[in-house]
């Protein structure tokens, strides 16, 4: 009996050992497969940051930019500031050894590189910490200083900051029902970003079948199992108090603007004012082309006279002085470098002050800028120049307006969206859809071109600030031997021209214009006419848009019929 029992144990024990080994051999992989991973993510690697740099979580997304954290304060580089916070800052690396500027409706704030204080009108205020830092050839600006000018919130965490720059967003929330972890990806083996305790609340970003993408209260975005969460009450965020900045006031007419450009290319040209007023019946603003830049230092010629302004005022017409960058240059062959002129703060501010003084010297009512053909790299300088001019004009009660092309991507450097914030009127030159030097025959201003241009402008500028200028001219197109050229014909002269050539135009619905073409031998002639019918069609479109007014290029090109149409558009009678 004992021998049999002993033999049984001899057989049983190895079998048990085999079973144990088999269980262990099979159990370990199963455990490894189904147990929760304990690997913890390196947050620096997770966010792609090191040293003093931190990732930026904007709303619920990590953006490519990074923040600099120093002495417990957050700094954003200028690209980040302009892209996500405000485009109001301007930097001049040569002024005062490097100066960051912010121009409000009334004044300009200045911070020298690395300074802890800012100046306004010569008064310095020290905040006790560097307002800007320069690292790796980048200028960083303190978030605490930025909050004086931009509406946002930022919280600093380990390796990342949480940035909010928009509000009124709905947040879907979840309660954590059991201690768990938030992981880099959905899956129990994914590295842990941090532990999440029962009772915490997280924001649901994206719901999935087993795991969901969430964000914790400290801005960590990752994944938590759905079985660890339950529904919680959501909320809609509310914007914090906006920075206490002065409001932009405007100097505008009580009625719509009815503006006529008056070409004056010498002091003697002022003598044509009487004729201009006689032609442009109903016009309430005349814009003489008095000022033109003459060099890169900000000098300009000026044909303005107080007598002209007094006569215009006596006829109930306001005077907006036109300043351009091309008339003198075209006459003399001078090359005006706007980037050079406007990029230097001292030159830029002197030009602004001199122009406003020129307007004041003759008692004029407004300053109109007609700066055309500027290079792409002048954009930031042009905008800052207009900001600084706008402060001077606002202080002096001068109406500030700008002339702009129909807005397309290729001329976006003029930034009519920013102009619309601080300029009183943004005038759109609603013409030159086709022009002689372009070499392609077509309308100067088809109805579709005008309508599309105004629609694009309305996306960027308040309607009451928009003036649409119409052309009092057209182009005679000549195509011969495969070459197309053109010459201008004024609206005032086109009827006589058509009679001379014996042609009768036909209305074209597509362009909203009368059209005529004829041949002489192998030469094709074409005209898309501007006349009372085409101008009326444009004004009808403008009537639906509640614009600030209408302009005309130019006095001397029109006739009684079209000026009467502009008067009816302006006053409704």
In tens, the pLDDT along 551-573 reads 999 999 999 999 999 999 999 96
pLDDT for 7 equals 60
The pTM for the full model equals 0.92
Angle ∠(563,564,565) on CA atoms, nearest 5: 90
* 8 Å CB contact between 550 and 501: no
Count CB-CB contacts under 10 A for residue 335.
Answer: 8
Please, where are the H alpha helices in 222-372? 273-279, 306-314, 327-332, 338-343, 345-361
pLDDT for 31 equals 47
pLDDT for 35 equals 86
DSSP string of 184-209?
SSSSTTSPEEEEE-TT-EEEEEE--S
pLDDT for 27 equals 53
Domain with CATH 2.30.30.40 in the chain: 170-236
* C-alpha–C-alpha distance, residues 478 and 522, integer Å: 10
If one looks up domain 170-236 in CATH, what number appears?
Answer: 2.30.30.40
CATH of 257-571, one of 3.40.50.920, 3.20.20.80, 3.30.70.270, 3.65.10.10: 3.20.20.80
The DSSP letter of residue 255 is S
Place of tokens 């003084």: 357
- CATH class of residue range 45-164: alpha beta
In tens, the pLDDT along 201-222 reads 999 999 999 999 999 999 999 9
Domain with CATH 3.20.20.80 in the chain: 257-571
Counting Cα atoms < 13 Å in the Cβ hemisphere of 484 gives 16
* C-alpha–C-alpha distance, residues 264 and 289, integer Å: 5
pLDDT for 444 equals 98
Low-confidence ranges of the chain (pLDDT < 70): 1-12, 14-34, 573
3-state SS class at 286: strand
pLDDT for 22 equals 57
Domain with CATH 3.30.457.10 in the chain: 45-164
């Amino acid at each position: 009996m004992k021998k049999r029992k002993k033999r049984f144990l001899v057989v049983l024990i190895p079998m048990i050992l085999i079973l144990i080994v088999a269980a262990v051999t099979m159990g370990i992989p199963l455990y490894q497969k189904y147990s929760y991973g304990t690997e913890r993510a390196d947050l620096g690697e997770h966010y792609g940051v090191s040293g003093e740099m931190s990732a930026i979580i904007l709303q619920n997304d990590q953006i490519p930019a990074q923040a600099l954290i120093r002495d417990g304060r957050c700094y954003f580089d200028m690209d980040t500031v302009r892209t996500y916070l405000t485009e109001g800052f301007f930097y001049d690396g040569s002024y005062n050894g490097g100066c960051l500027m912010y121009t409000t409706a009334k004044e300009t704030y200045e911070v020298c590189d690395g300074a802890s204080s800012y100046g306004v009108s010569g008064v310095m205020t020290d905040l006790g910490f560097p307002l800007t830092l320069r690292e790796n050839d980048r200028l960083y600006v303190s978030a605490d200083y930025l909050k004086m000018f931009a509406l946002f919130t930022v919280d600093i965490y380990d390796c990342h900051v949480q940035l909010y720059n928009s509000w009124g967003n709905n947040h879907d929330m979840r309660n954590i029902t059991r201690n768990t972890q938030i992981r880099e990806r959905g899956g129990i083996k994914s590295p842990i970003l941090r532990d999440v305790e029962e009772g915490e609340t997280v924001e649901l970003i994206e719901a999935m079948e087993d795991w969901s993408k969430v964000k914790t209260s400290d801005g960590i975005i990752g994944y938590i199992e759905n079985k660890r969460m339950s529904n919680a009450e959501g909320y809609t965020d509310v914007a914090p108090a906006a920075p206490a900045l002065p409001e932009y006031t405007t100097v505008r007419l009580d009625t719509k603007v009815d503006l006529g450009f008056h070409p004056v290319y010498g002091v003697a040209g002022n003598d044509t004012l009487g004729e201009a007023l006689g032609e442009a019946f109903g016009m309430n603003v005349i814009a003489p082309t008095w000022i033109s830049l003459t060099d890169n230092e900000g000098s300009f010629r000026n044909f303005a006279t107080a007598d002209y302004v007094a006569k215009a005022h006596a006829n109930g017409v306001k005077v907006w002085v036109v300043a351009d960058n091309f008339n003198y240059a075209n006459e003399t062959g001078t090359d005006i470098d706007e980037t050079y002129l406007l990029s230097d703060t001292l030159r830029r501010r002197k030009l602004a002050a001199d122009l406003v003084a020129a307007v004041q010297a003759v008692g004029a009512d407004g300053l109109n800028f007609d700066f055309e053909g500027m290079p792409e790299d002048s954009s930031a300088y042009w905008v800052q120049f207009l900001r600084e001019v706008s402060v001077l004009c606002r202080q002096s009660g001068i109406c500030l307006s700008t002339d702009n092309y129909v807005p397309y991507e290729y001329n976006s450097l003029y930034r009519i969206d920013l102009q619309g914030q601080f300029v009183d009127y943004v005038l759109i030159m609603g013409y030159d859809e086709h022009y002689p030097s372009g070499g392609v025959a077509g309308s100067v201003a088809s109805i579709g071109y005008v309508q599309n241009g105004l629609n694009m402008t309305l996306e960027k500028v308040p309607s009451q600030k928009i003036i649409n200028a119409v052309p009092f001219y057209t182009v005679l197109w000549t195509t011969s031997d495969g070459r197309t050229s053109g010459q201008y014909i004024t609206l005032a002269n086109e009827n006589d021209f058509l009679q001379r050539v014996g042609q009768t135009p036909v209305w074209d619905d597509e362009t909203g214009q009368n059209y005529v073409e004829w041949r002489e031998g192998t030469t094709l002639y074409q005209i898309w006419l501007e006349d009372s019918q085409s101008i009326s069609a444009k004004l009808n479109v403008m009537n639906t848009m509640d614009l600030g007014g209408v302009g005309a290029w130019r006095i001397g090109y029109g006739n009684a019929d079209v000026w009467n149409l502009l008067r009816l558009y302006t006053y409704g009678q």
